[in-house]
């Protein structure tokens, strides 16, 4: 199964409890026609990996997504809440383009609560046929056809807030216990 199927099925059960029948109906709305046994097996595998939780509510079993695993868009969106509004677009574009090693699309910026991106001295808009190849390579999310893309203008230095967000995200993901000291500064130790 593809990354897009994973994103679709976890998106369906996020924040709600659904039976196999309910999940099957929702998948059909997204263009997937799968037998219930396949859906059940996939959900059980996700349960074994700790991505979904199954509960017995006779006569059904219902599934819901566990909140422990966030995608890159949720992680960045949370961090952007602390960034000044006028700097958010630049920081978001920088983070996405550096992490994904490609221009970011308007749809992705919408997922970060930036609904109306616009070019400025540090961010430029891209369009054209070259983006179609990039768009077709993205499998986890749907990027609308003709959606503009954005990138940081060449020569612009990274926004300080973006570097801070990257460091925070790394610290949250890595186990640094036993490597960090309690004091923040060397001067505090003396």
End-to-end CA distance of the chain: 57
Task: Assess if residue 190 is contained within a domain.
Answer: no
Q: Are residues 61 and 76 in the same domain?
A: no
Q: Are residues 15 and 39 in the same domain?
A: yes
Q: Are residues 111 and 91 in the same domain?
A: yes
Number of domains present in the structure of the chain: 2
pTM: 0.64
Instruction: Write out the chain's pLDDT in tens, 190 residues.
Output: 566 788 788 888 887 888 999 999 999 998 888 898 999 999 998 888 878 889 888 888 898 887 656 778 888 998 999 999 889 999 999 999 999 999 999 999 999 989 888 888 899 999 877 888 898 888 888 888 889 999 999 988 899 999 999 998 888 778 777 777 766 665 655 5
Q: Which residues contact 116 (CB under 8 A, 6 or more apart)?
A: none
Task: Assess if residue 178 is contained within a domain.
Answer: no
Domain range enclosing 15? 3-65
The CATH number that applies at residue 20 is: 1.10.10.10
Q: Which of 14, 38, 4 is nearest to 24 (CA)?
A: 38
Q: Are residues 38 and 85 in the same domain?
A: no
DSSP tag of 91: H
The DSSP annotation for 109-146 comes to HHHTT--S----SSEEEE-STHHHHHHHH--SS---TT
DSSP tag of 159: P
Q: Which of 175, 165, 171 is nearest to 76 (CA)?
A: 165
């Amino acid at each position: 199964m593809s990354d897009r199927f994973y994103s679709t099925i976890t998106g369906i059960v996020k924040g709600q409890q659904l039976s196999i029948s309910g999940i099957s109906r929702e998948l059909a709305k997204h263009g997937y026609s799968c037998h219930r046994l396949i859906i059940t097996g996939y959900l059980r595998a996700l349960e074994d990996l700790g991505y979904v939780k199954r509960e017995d509510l006779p006569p059904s079993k219902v599934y819901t997504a566990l909140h422990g695993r966030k995608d890159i868009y949720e992680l960045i969106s949370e961090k952007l809440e602390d960034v000044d509004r006028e700097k958010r677009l630049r920081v978001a574009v920088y983070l996405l383009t550096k992490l994904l090693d490609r221009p970011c699309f308007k749809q992705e910026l919408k997922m970060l609560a930036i609904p109306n991106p616009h070019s400025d001295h540090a961010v430029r808009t891209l369009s054209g046929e070259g983006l179609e190849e990039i768009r077709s390579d993205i499998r986890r999310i749907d990027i609308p056809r003709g959606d503009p893309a954005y990138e940081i203008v060449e020569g612009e230095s990274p926004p300080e807030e973006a570097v801070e967000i990257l460091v925070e995200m790394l610290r949250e993901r890595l186990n640094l216990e036993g490597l960090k000291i309690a004091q923040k500064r060397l001067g505090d130790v003396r």
